[in-house]
Amino acid sequence: MFEFHGWIVLRYHTHDTNEYLQDQAYSRFINYLKDIDTEELSNIKRRNGQDSWTISGLHNHFSNYVLEIYKWVSENLQVHMDCYIHRTMKTLKITTSLLSGN
């Protein structure tokens, strides 16, 4: 059994606050999620000028699609993100540096 919990604060840039560019980045992410999150476990919120995404679930078998979402975001957006995956007695914490190969 695999239990996973993840979150991402979505930003198109680390310090620029152009709303138009943020909306474009948000839309690209939404379109990407439509294709990959076939189980519809994602939760997206826009609040106080911040866009955030969370995912949580349990699977009988390991599935790469959650990690693929993190990889896509790390390659396309400036973000702060975290993921927790638990398998029986083993825990793996995924960080941005692991996803980008640094």
What's the pLDDT tens digit per position in 25-74?
889 999 999 999 888 889 999 887 788 888 888 888 777 888 888 888 88
CA distance 56 to 79: 19
3-state class (DSSP) for residue 2: strand
Burial of 82 (0-12, 13-18, 19+ CB in 10 A): middle
Tally of CB atoms within 10 A around 10:
23
101 pLDDT tier (thresholds 50, 70, 90):
very low
Nearest to 65 by CA among 38, 86, 83, 44: 38
* pTM given for the model: 0.73
Q: pLDDT, tens digit, for every residue of 11-24?
A: 777 677 788 888 88
What is the per-residue pLDDT for 43?
93
CATH of domain 2-100: 3.30.70.1150
